[in-house]
Amino acid sequence: MRPFTYTCPKTVDDALRAYMQTSESKFIGGGTNLLDLMKMGVERPPQLIDINKLPLTAIEERNGGLRIGALVSNTAAANHPLIRTRYPVLSQAILGGASPQLRNMATMGGNLLQRTRCYYFYDPSYAECNKRVPGSGCAALHGYNRIHAILGQSEQCIAVHPSDMCVALAALDGEVQVKGPKGERSIRFADFHRLPGETPQVETNLTSGGINYLDRFAGYLLRTPFLLPEGAGSSFVCFRARFRGGDSGRGRGRKDSRSANRIGRGRNETLARHTGREGSCWPETG
Amino acid sequence: MNNLIGQPLDRIDGRVKVTGRAVYAYEHDVPNAVYAVMVTSSIANGRIASIETHEAERARSVLLVMTHQNSPKLPAVQDQSETSPPGRAVQVLQDDRVYYPNQPIGLVVAETFVDAVAAAQLVQVQYQARPPQVDLESRLSQGYTPKKSGGGGAPSTSKRGDVEAGLKEADQRIEQVYWTPFQVHNPMEPHATIAVWDTAQHLTIYDATQGIFGARGRVASVFALPPSNVRVISPYLGGGFGSKGPTWSHVILAAMAAKQVNRPVKLAVTRPQMFGPVGLRSQTRQAIAIGAKSDGTITALRNDTASHTSMFGEFVEAATLPTRMLYQSSNNSTSQVIVRSNIGQSSYMRAPGEATGTFALEVAMDEMAYALKMDPVAFRLKNYAETDPDENKPWSSKSLRECYRQAGERFGWSRRPLEARSMREGNTLIGWGMATSVYPTRRSESHASARLNADGTFSVDAGSQDLGTGTYTIMTQIAAESFGVSPRQVRFRLGDTILPETPVSGGSQTAASTGSAVQLASQALREKLIQMAITDAQSPMSGASAQDVALEGGRLYRRSDPAKGETFQQLISRSGQAYVEGTADSKPGSEKESYSMYAFGAQFAEVRVDADLGEVSVSRMVGCFAAGKILNAKTARSQFMGGMIWGISMALYEEAAVDKRLGRWVNNNLAEYHVPVNADIGQIEALWVDEVDHHINPIGAKGIGEIGITGASAAVANAVFHATGKRVRDLPVTLDKLII
């Protein structure tokens, strides 16, 4: 509800230029999380850079693996024949979350950068949240926290990352390719997100060397977020315990994923993968 | 037209709803309207130390920032007693006190909704916060016994026989404490109001309300106006469920603001603001004791319930009521205490009392059935109450036995092994559970009019409301059948206080109350027309006996000689009248003194539980209900199913989570407050037993809006026990309670 400027660049370089020109700009793709956060007053960007015109919507084979553009919708990725056949875990993980309407809008890049649904983070009328206001404390630590992390948390933050998809991508040992003002680089998916530690406000390793992610020169555009290695996908299945079904977590879709679970690599190993990342989602809400 | 009542007529309002043409409260096109947004408290208890509004007042297009510092003071709301019923005590910026989280503490009015929202975020509030009081268990001793209990005004305690003696003589005893959580109303359409001062003394309100006449009376009293100066309009509702029964603070605030800015004001309650100012279902703590002989005879039954009310009003979640009357039990006692808490007013939510009360009672009954090694249905039949053991009266009708039989057969209950954790498919544990449903049959005074117009059209009016339940449709059916035309010829209007007065659509009473009024008015019109025909010398039916005159297909004619007849228009035009009207003033008689009136039902649920992870889903559910005459097979089925589905929600998902340090609802949105979506719900079957009950009301309907949720959560929880061997006594049954 605060005034902001809006720009809609056509190229990645234009997007980066716009990003560097206005401090604390935000890229917007599907907007399924950012708009909520703006309405709540959690995010207050002075500029929105709409990246939906950028040519980042392809899913293509590369070196026997798969390269997925940052602007591919969650729905398109989950239903893509190559992903369904070679990386079913990714398809299952995407379909295990949100709703069809949200998945239609949500992008693969945005899914990585969505922010925690911790109650105390999401509502700025709670004074304490180290992620929102560094140094303010953690209201969840001794508050209502049954949906919070059981592994990987710190005294500063016990929030979990909300993405199902990211868990699958970590299991698949994917790679994130990014482009920033200083050029392009690749980040191993498992290294993309950070545990909260002492700086829960720094959620990813998009910046390095201790640079605050809000620094205007530290921004990166997710260009081709996922490079999936050859042959990694078939032995993983999506596995998720939660209070309720949500859209395809129940009914027919669910049955399929559960039976697939039995022929996967074994639940204990999958579980370890899940929980090893950012105190991730077990048990989790839908 | 005969036999229309009961037919699965499509919804009269279906087409306008699915095409987006149905106009809901907030959508009325009122010229010159401005937009109000509430500022609500972020503490649960304390005072406003300061409230800074300068920045908000200077924001774009802002017309008014109203707080307790500048609000008009309303004498009628300043002497609110602490025992006001829900919705009577309103928080309309009269002082600096904060009693609950999300209490309205300010109102911002701007030319656009966006500007109002933006300005509301600029209001800076400093509080003197005090520790919130929200925990029930630790404050039970602070509870008090209210004078009355529940919507029907039943006593808050009851006693017959000697429960202690009954427990002593029992072969098996179950004594357990059961909990149901806070639940918050989340109909698809949140509350919304448009207030329009037509003159300084005349107010029109477009309101999302279940009771237009109640809203009219409340608003009139607050502003010291005669009720006739207030008009309330509410043609469509996106769900009510009890939330929209009372008239809450935002309605008064909208009217206050409209007066201040001298413009019509639109006010929508946001989804997070639904958590507090507009009613919620209290948490309950129910201590139940059952004693039984080894043959299954209940020797003692007790329920001591504690629930919350607000700091300023009184509401009793009357969970003890089913314990009093559902089973034959000569030694029976119940008590009900309420504890004042820093919550918005606890209030009516679908089957208030019965939904929570049947959970605890019916789970306790299941526990006793296991203790006795008896089939849960057989145990209930063993203690079947042939008359009302509480009021010592005969039932007006009771077909519960038939409900057990039909639902059980449909479900396949006879194939159920008694032993828990005995059905399994791979890693999935399967369980079957059942419970009894019960809800009282209510009726209030109601009025309706039926007119045959000179052009031959037939219009029927009754104030009333359609919550989405099918009121338009069933009233049309009743009018058509009672008068003798096809439903297409009926123009039925509701939702406006200029129409005949009707009661609140709450307590499942609309069909019984207003349905009876519509029936009587339509019959009165029919009789009037027949009288006109036989006394009119120019009519072909002149001199005929009333019994010999038929009314059908838009005309009246002699049964003995169908050629001798005429159209409605011909008859009316000779009379010179613009219309002929039949009216009805329908109210309950003495039936309540002679009979105990309830709808009953039986519900059976199958759950599937992951043996390792405790994930629960309800794969199928069968309910059979006996609720008098069913007026529309299609809308009734939806009502029953809706209740059953909410029961699943109550059993597995719903809980308004409170941070007890802050006294705030942390999950105040539909992403975190879980309600089931379509994919969560398996196969739901709603059956019913046709009952003919001449005692309850002229239309013979018991009301079906609430009975579906009663017993449903217990059936699911009992099925979870059967699947897992784990007894969960506090809802919702989440996976952590099953795996830890």
CATH code for the domain of B405: 3.30.365.10
B538 to chain A, any CB pair closer than 8 A? The answer is no
Q: How far apart are CA B630 and CA A195, in angstroms?
A: 59
Give yes or no: residues B692 and B714 share one domain. yes
Closest residue in A to B39 (Cα) is A125
Among A274-278, B36-40, B520-524, the least confident range: A274-278
Tell me the β-bridge partners of B435. B603
Going by C-alpha positions, the residue among B86, B82, B218 that lies closest to residue B151 is B86
Owner of token pair 């029109």:
B204
How sure is the predictor about B210, in pLDDT bands with cuts at 50, 70 and 90?
A: very high
> Across chain A, which distance is largest between two alpha carbons, in Å?
52
Give the least confident one: A179-188, A196-205, B565-574.
Answer: A179-188
- Tens of pLDDT along B121-137? 999 999 999 999 999 99
Across B156-165, average pLDDT? 97
Residues B72 and B212 in one domain: yes
Q: Which residues contact B538 (CB under 8 A, 6 or more apart)?
A: B574
Contacting residues for A196 by C-beta, under 8 A, at least 6 apart: A130, A131, A152, A153, A154, A156, A157, A158, A159, A278
Alpha-carbon distance A76 to nearest alpha carbon in chain B (angstroms)? 21
Q: Running DSSP on this structure, what letter comes out for residue B501? A: P
Measured between CB atoms, which of B427, B661, B671 is closest to A143? B661
Which range is least confidently modeled, A122-131, A188-197, B137-146? A188-197
Which of B118, B426, B659 lies closest to A144 in CB terms? B659
Side chain identity at B651, as an amino acid letter?
Answer: A
B7 belongs to a structural domain: no
Q: Residue A255: which pLDDT band, with cuts at 50, 70 and 90?
A: very low
Pick from A268-277, B563-572, B607-616, B664-673: least confident? A268-277
On whether residue A258 sits in a domain, the answer given is yes
Asked if residue A60 has pLDDT above 90, the reply is no
- Kindly determine whether residue B674 and residue A125, on different chains, have CB atoms separated by under 8 Å: no
| Mean of pLDDT values over B503-514 | 95
The mean pLDDT of B524-531, rounded to a whole number, is 96
Among the partner residues A2, A119, A285, nearest to B666 by beta-carbon distance: A119
Say whether pLDDT at A225 is over 80: no
B544-558 mean pLDDT? 93
pLDDT computed for residue B77 by the predictor: 86
Q: Is residue B50 part of a domain?
A: yes
Within 10 A of B694 (CB to CB), how many other CB atoms are there? 10
Q: Is residue A261 part of a domain?
A: yes
* Structural domain for A137, as ranges: 55-275
User: Average of pLDDT values for B276-303?
Assistant: 98
H helix or E strand, kind and range, residue A60: strand A59-62
Q: Are strands B579-586 and B446-453 parallel, antiparallel or unpaired?
A: antiparallel
ipTM field: 0.90
Q: Count residue pairs from A and B with Cβ separation < 8 A.
A: 75
Answer yes or no: is pLDDT of B587 > 50: yes
Chain A residues with CB under 8 Å of B671 CB are 117
How far lies A174's CA from each of A263, B230, B405, in Å?
22, 66, 58
> Which residue, of B569, B587, B605, is where some domain finishes?
B587
Q: Is residue B427 part of a domain?
A: yes
Residue of chain B with shortest Cα separation from A98: B671
**Quick one: B639 and B551 in the same domain?**
no
Looking at CA atoms only, how far is residue A21 from chain B in angstroms? 26
Nearest to B351 by CA among B639, B668, B672, B620: B639
**B71, B75, B76, B78: CA torsion to nearest 10:** 80
DSSP string, A106-140: -BHHHHHH-----HHHH-TTSS-BTTTSTTS-BTT
- CA separation for the pair A142, A140 (Å, rounded): 5
Probe site for chain B from A99, A118, A244 (most B CB atoms < 10 A): A244
**Both B233 and B322 in a single domain?**
no
Q: Pairing state of beta strands B34-40 and B265-268?
A: parallel
Residue A35 Cα, gap to closest chain B Cα (Å): 14
On the question of pLDDT at B571 being above 90, the answer is: yes
Q: Residue B601: beta bridge partners?
A: B437, B625
| Nearest 10 degrees: Cα torsion B465, B468, B470, B476 | 50
Cβ neighbours of A146 in B, within 8 Å: 736
Q: Are residues B608 and B548 in the same domain?
A: no
Q: Which range has the worst mean pLDDT, A46-60, B203-217, B656-670?
A: A46-60
Nearest chain B residue to A242 by CA: give it. B615
- Considering CB atoms only, which of B117, B617, B661 is closest to A250? B617
Chain A partners within 8 Å of B610 (Cβ)? 241
- Mutation for testing the A interface, residue in B40, B61, B680, B740 having most A CBs under 10 Å: B680
Residue B656's closest chain A neighbor by CA? Answer: A144
For the cut 80, the answer to whether the pLDDT of residue B560 exceeds it is yes
Contacts B653 to A, Cβ<8 Å: 243-244
Note whether B679 contacts A146, CB cutoff 8 Å.
no
In this structure, what DSSP letter does residue B25 have?
A: G
> What element of type H or E holds B366?
helix B354-372
Average pLDDT on A40-65 reads: 89
CATH label of the domain that carries residue B104: 3.90.1170.50
Give yes or no for residue A263 having a pLDDT over 60.
no
**CA atoms of B41 and B291, how far apart (whole Å):** 47
Indicate the number of domains in chain B: 3
B52-72 residue pLDDT tens: 999 999 999 999 999 999 999
Q: In which element (H, E) is residue B284 found?
A: strand B284-292
Question: Closest chain A residue to B669 measured between Cα atoms?
Answer: A119
CB environment B446-464: b (16+ within 10 A), e (fewer): bbbbbbbbbebbbbbbbbb
In a domain, B17, yes or no: no
Q: CB-based contact (8 Å) between B720 and chain A?
A: no
Of B42, B114, B671, which is closest to A125 when you measure between CB atoms?
A: B42
Given a cut of 90, whether residue B484 has pLDDT beyond it is yes
User: Are both B635 and B720 inside the same structural domain?
Assistant: yes
Q: What is the pLDDT of residue A238?
A: 58
In this structure, is residue A31 part of a structural domain? no
Query: In this complex, do B114 and A1 lie within 8 Å of one another by their Cβ atoms?
Result: yes
Label residue A63 by pLDDT band (50, 70, 90): confident
Answer whether the bond into residue B31 is a cis peptide, omega within 30°: no
> What is residue A228's predicted lDDT score, i.e. its pLDDT?
65
In a domain, B136, yes or no: no
Task: Assess whether B314 and B409 both reside in one domain.
Answer: yes
User: Where in the sequence is the domain holding B461, given as residue range(s)?
Assistant: 445-587
B220 and B348 fall within a common domain: no
> What is the least distance, in Å, from the CA of B177 to any CA of chain A?
23
Q: Please name the residue of chain B whose CA is at the shortest distance from the CA of residue A2.
A: B118
- pLDDT higher than 70, residue A226: no
Preferred mutation among B60, B664, B678, B733 to probe A, highest tally of A CBs within 10 A: B664
pLDDT digits (tens, 9 = 90+) for B380-405: 999 999 999 999 999 999 999 999 99
Are B526 and B582 in contact by the 8 Å Cβ rule? The answer is: yes
Percent of chain A clearing pLDDT 70 (strictly above):
72
Contact (Cβ atoms closer than 8 angstroms) between residue B12 and residue B472: yes
Residue A18 in any domain: the answer is no
Whether residue B559 is found in the same domain as residue B521: yes
Of chain B residues 257-286, which have a CB less than 8 A from chain A? 272
CA distance B290 to B367: 10
Distance from CA of A1 to the nearest CA of B (A): 5
Q: What is the full DSSP assignment across B48-66?
A: EEEEE-HHHHHSTTEEEEE
Is residue B199 helix, strand or coil? strand
Is residue A149 in some structural domain? yes
pLDDT digits (tens, 9 = 90+) for B163-198: 999 999 999 999 999 999 999 999 999 999 999 999
B114 vs A: CB within 8 A: yes
Task: Looking at the complex, report in whole angstroms how far the Cα of residue A175 sits from the nearest Cα belonging to chain B.
Answer: 30
pLDDT at A244 over 70: no
In this predicted model, what pLDDT tens digit does every residue of B424-481 receive, in sequence order? Answer: 999 999 999 999 999 999 999 999 999 999 988 999 999 999 999 999 999 999 999 9
> Collapsing DSSP states into helix, strand and coil, what is residue B51?
strand
The tally of domains found in chain A comes to 1
Residue A216 binned pLDDT confidence (cut-offs 50, 70, 90):
very low
Chain B residue with minimum CA distance to A1: B118
Question: Could you tell me the CATH number of the domain that includes residue A167?
Answer: 3.30.465.10
Spot the catalytic one: B317, B354, B655, B706: B706
pLDDT of residue A250: 35
Domain edge (last residue) among B274, B290, B325: B274
Chain A residue set in contact with B, beta carbons under 8 Å: 1-2, 41, 99, 117, 119-120, 123, 125-126, 139, 142-144, 146-147, 241-251, 253-254, 262, 267, 283, 285-286
Tell me whether residue A205 is in a domain.
yes
Q: Are residues B651 and B572 in the same domain?
A: no
Q: Mean of the pLDDT values across residues B253-264?
A: 98
State the smallest CA–CA distance between residue B585 and chain A in angstroms: 48
From chain A, the residues in CB contact with B645 under 8 A are: none
Q: What average pLDDT does the structure give for chain B?
A: 96
Scanning every residue of chain B, which has its alpha carbon at the shortest distance from the alpha carbon of A125?
Answer: B42
**Residue written as token pair 């009316």:** B572
DSSP-derived letter for residue B225 is: -
Q: Which residue has the higher pLDDT, B22 or A181?
A: B22
B510 and B388 within one domain = no
For chain B, give the number of residues.
Answer: 740
Q: Which residue of A has its CA nearest to B119?
A: A1
Between chains, do B679 and A250 touch, taking CB under 8 Å as contact? yes
The SS3 call for residue B189 is coil
Q: How confident is the model at residue B578 (pLDDT cuts 50, 70, 90)?
A: very high
- Same domain as B355, residue B468: no
Question: Which residue in this structure is represented by tokens 């209490």?
Answer: B103
B425: annotated active-site residue:
no
Residues of A in contact with B677 (CB under 8 A): 99, 245-247
Is B381 a member of any domain?
yes
What is the pLDDT, as a whole number, of residue B86? 77
Instruction: Find the CB nearest A245 among B121, B660, B679.
Output: B679
Mean pLDDT of B672-682: 92
The residue of B35, B126, B659 whose CB has the most chain A CBs within 10 angstroms, and thus the best one to mutate to test that interface, is B659
Query: What are the chain A neighbours of B734 within 8 Å (beta carbons)?
Result: 243
B667 touches chain A (CB under 8 A): yes
Question: Contact A250/B610, CB-based, under 8 Å?
Answer: no
